[in-house]
Structure 1
Amino acid sequence: MALTGLGPPLAAWVVMAGALLVVSAAAVLRVVREGERLVVFRFGRLAAVKEPGLAAVLPGADRAVRVPLGPAFLDLLWLDAVTADGVAVTVNGTGLASVRDPASYALDLGLSESATLAAAEAEIRAHVAERDLAELAQPTGEALRDLSARISRRTREWGVEVTVIDFHRVEVRLKADLVRWAEGYATRAEAARNGP
């Protein structure tokens, strides 16, 4: 059916109504990609977590937050800590974090990333404080898995799980505490050789 017989004013209204319909559909419909969730808040309250596919939101009533589920890297750089035997060290490493609860993550969107990094840094410092320098030099897989679990217990409230922590470098500063550690190590080694 042609619009030419309707006259100029009616044809303009039909075109405007069609454009309004397209704009409204674009405002209401959202595409949720694989590997993400769309968390919808209606009037400030959690309404739904949308799976991949086409999702509808109500303009003016809903606020939609896209939450990526894929792993995110944590750069753990230049963390100063002190070992159980009193040696000041600087630790560099990385972590891998994933969103496990999109709704909790979206509630504290700005806080989640920085809080996860802060929790990881605090737990790494505590991990270092519980170990001698010799233990820290060659961390076991079990110790690193335990560290990841400790961090995840703190980050769970933000919907984040830390699955991997790895230390790339542990540097010791050449200061008096290193000399004290070396003297203590020599004493312990001598005692071990001589027996009880």
Structure 2
Amino acid sequence: MAGTDVTPFTSNNTPVVQARPPRGNILGTLSLIIPTAIGGAMAVAVAEPLAMVAGAAVGLIAMFSPKIASQWERAVVLKWGRYDGVRGPGVFWVIPGMHTVAAWIDHRTVATSFAAEQTLTMDAVPVNVDAVLFWTVFDAQKAALEVQDYQQAVSWAAQTALRDIIGRTSLSELLAGREKIEQELQALIDRRTNPWGVSVHSVEMRDVVIPASLQDAMSRQAQAAREKQARIILGEAEVEIAKLFEKAAESYQGNPTALQLRQMNILYEGLKQKGGMMVVPSTIVDSMGHAGIMAAAALANQQSAENAKPRSEPDPDVALRIAETNLFPS
């Protein structure tokens, strides 16, 4: 992310204090050299050694006077131990012994990673939650004077707020209502860090880890729920099919020809399967007649021949023999 600092953390979630490079070295060096050179020139001109000593002393004091603050930084300056103001960005001057720079405050957006391990939810389920906090210092004076270490304070405030939110939330709400929890967490952390001059932009929950045994139980529960829903849908389909069959039976009851055509169609669909065998009730054979059975078998064989690959010997007409057996029993 452009313009964003990521705060490094140790294994116990404590921010690492990074050494800040000195500022104003070039100006300080020039401030030492120039007065010393002027003092040396005056000492040579007036033959007075004290002039060179005085010039070196002035240069030594001026060496520590210039400071440089980057564009995103602000320096909190104290005068005789009291707040004197905020300096920067750019070059500013202090008087050594009188002024001290209490803190260098970074005004860029900072991303802080924090976590809550083995925290119990409202329904007593231990979870591990990882999150990222995006925040910015909007008041350098408060960040330097109202809290000892504002970066570490923000980290601990975020972690305790996360534990507080988890303890007031059930597991189902934690897994399903993540956006709502992030908004509540942002408001809670912002309320705690606002007196320190810190504003929270957003909180992003990266991962929620639950015990493996509970994951297995939840998986079985979800599977059982899906199977139950599938059985319900299947039962509803059976009811609808039964109603349609009832209407079809009413139609066939008054139209024997339509029933006979339907029987021939069913017989044809069954016989056209390759290598299939169908046991035909004698009542259907009587109603359709020997010619109807032979016609259905012939159509089925023709369909099978078109769909199948060429063979050296044709398959026996099993359905026709069954029909003849029903017509002419021994």
TM > 0.5? yes
Code of the aligned partner of 2:189 = I
Any idea what the Cα deviations from partners look like across 1:42-92, whole Å, max 9, x if unmatched?
122211011312222221122212111112221213533222222110111
Q: Which residue of 1 aligns with 2:189?
A: 151
* Residue identity matched to 2:110: A
Q: 1:4 to 1:81 in 2, by over 3 A?
A: closer
Unaligned runs of 5+ in 1: none
Does structure 1 retain, via aligned residues, the 8 Å contact 2:138–2:198?
yes
Post-superposition, which runs of at least 4 consecutive aligned residues in structure 1 deviate over 6 A? none
Amino acid at match of 2:68: V
TM value normalised by structure 1? 0.76
Larger radius of gyration: 2
Q: CA deviation at 1:158?
A: 2.1
Structure with a larger share of its residues in strand: 1
Conserved in 2, the CA contact under 8 Å of 1:80 and 1:125?
Answer: no
Paired residue secondary structure (1:136): helix
Q: Which moved more, 1:108-117 or 1:32-41?
A: 108-117
Q: Is the 8 Å Cα contact of residues 79 and 90 (structure 1) preserved in structure 2?
A: yes
Q: What is the TM-score when the length of structure 2 is the normalising length?
A: 0.48
Structure 2 stretches lacking a partner, 5+ long? 1-40, 230-330
Q: 1:96 and 1:81 mapped to 2: Cα distance?
A: 22
CA deviations on 1:135-184 (whole Å, 9 max, x unpaired) are: 21244434313311210111122222222211111111246xx49x96xx
The structure-2 alpha-carbon separation of the partners of 1:80 and 1:74, relative to structure 1 and needing over 3 Å to count, comes to farther
Counterpart-to-counterpart distance in 2, 1:52 and 1:111: 22
**1:152-191 matched pairs, under 5 angstroms:** 152-174=190-212, 178=214
Q: d(CA) in 2 for partners of 1:14 and 1:109?
A: 46
Give the SS at the match of 1:77.
strand
The higher relative CO (CA closer than 8 Å, separation ≥ 6) is in: 1
Alignment match, 2:105: 67
Residue 95 (structure 2) aligned to one of 52, 55, 58: 58
**Whole-angstrom CA distance in 2 between matches of 1:127 and 1:5:** 73
2:161 to 123, 128, 132: 123
Question: Tell me, what secondary structure is at the counterpart of 2:151?
Answer: helix
Counterpart amino acid of residue 165 in structure 2: H
Size of the aligned set, in residue pairs, is 185
Using the alignment, how far apart are the partners of 1:110 and 1:170 within structure 2? 32
User: Which of the pair is proportionally richer in helix?
Assistant: 2
Q: Provide the residue aligned with 1:93 in structure 2.
A: 131
Find 2:72's aligned residue among 35, 54, 59. 35
The percent identity for this pair of structures is 26
